[in-house]
Amino acid sequence: MTENPRAEAVRATFAQIPQVAALGIVIEELSEGVARMTMPYDPQLVGDPATGVMHGGAVSTLLDSCSGAAVGCHPQATGQTATIDLRINYIRPAAPGQAITARAHCYHVTRSFAFIRATAHDEDTSLPVAEAVGTFTFNAEPQVEA
Amino acid sequence: MTRAPEPVQVVKQRRDAALQAMVDGVPYIRFLGIHFERRGDELTGILPYSHHLIGNPFLPALHGGVTAAFLEVTAIIGLSWSMIWEDLEAGRLDPSSLSPQNMPRLPRTIDMSVDYLRSGLPRDAYARARVNRSGRRYASVFVECWQDNRARPFAQATGHFTMPTPMPRPGE
């Protein structure tokens, strides 16, 4: 697979994010406007001790990270991205013991805003555990004055 | 016949023990380092700054996912607290029976919509939740978080939560 030219910069940035490292999130794929990442199952991230299901907050962080990377990989988005709005539906509990994989698609950008859709799955790919819709901003590259 | 009011230490001990049991039972709350302060029935979530919470090392700023998680945790604990408060005060719930292994079931998140107002600075953050609707099947909770200035929240959210099965009432 040919890597998106922006992928290298996104990878370098992600390698320096402490929260991404703390959750053990790894990048699986970066292509034009698309990112895929996996977060391994970790007992530290459990939200319901009775069932061992990971907390929605950890899934939010995975979806937010993956969405930010998808924006970063969009050819018209430049500079650093920041989340303005993230709406998440928790569709079903993730299976305890299984890694969660998120896929985000930045499907449109304007001059300074980017729109994303994302889903998160465990090993059962027939129904996502969560889905997200988000809006991001990015710093436009400095324009040369005419 | 009027009952003598309970000694203040008994009341505080009961309430703090119930809150502690609810929070300590959740590994992810410990992972983020969140704890709660209580004034009567009002709870404030506190997220002490820690390097592992950073999502943008260049600014630096808290991770947007951590902010969302802090709001979600505060909303769930706030909602649970409002649900168990009545049972606790009426003596239907004994806080000494609560432990991380034996907790009241927490509400489950259906959805959360997070509005990021400004970047989270690398310092302590605080959050409070308000239950706007609490029905038999679901609740709607508003929650906001701030840092140095209470009037300038850095994020706010509305979430919907399924209600766990209520504690059985006497005679039921």
Chain B residues with CB under 8 Å of A55 CB are 26, 28, 69, 72-73
Residues in chain A: 146
Query: How many other CB atoms sit within 10 Å of the CB of residue B108?
Result: 18
| Residues recorded for chain B | 172
Best residue in B28, B158, B161 for a mutation probing chain A (most A CBs within 10 Å): B28
Chain B hits for A68, Cβ within 8 Å: 64
Mean pLDDT by 10 residues, chain B (172 residues): 77 84 91 94 96 94 97 96 84 74 81 97 98 95 97 98 71 50
Architecture of the domain delimited by A7-138: Roll (3.10)
Residue A140 has pLDDT above 80, yes or no: no
Q: Report the C-alpha gap between B96 and B114 in whole angstroms.
A: 36
Joined tokens for residue A135: 């809006």
By three-state DSSP, how is residue A100 classified?
strand
pLDDT band at residue A91 using 50, 70 and 90 as cut-offs: very high
Q: pLDDT-derived band of residue A100, with 50, 70 and 90 as boundaries?
A: very high
Is the C-alpha dihedral spanning B159, B160, B163, B164 positive or negative? negative
Query: What are the domain boundaries of chain B?
Result: 8-162
Q: Going by DSSP bridges, is the β-strand pair B42-47/A100-109 parallel, antiparallel, or unpaired?
A: unpaired
Q: Which CATH superfamily is domain B8-162 in?
A: Hotdog Thioesterase (3.10.129.10)
Residues of chain B whose beta carbon is less than 8 angstroms from a beta carbon of chain A are 25-28, 30-32, 51-59, 61, 63-66, 68-70, 72-73, 100-101, 103, 105-106, 108-116, 119
Chain B nearest-CA distance from A146, in A, is: 30
Q: Tell me which residue of B165, B20, B17, B26 sits closest to B94, measured CA to CA.
A: B17
Q: Which residues are CB-contacts of A16 (< 8 A; sequence separation ≥ 6)? A: B57
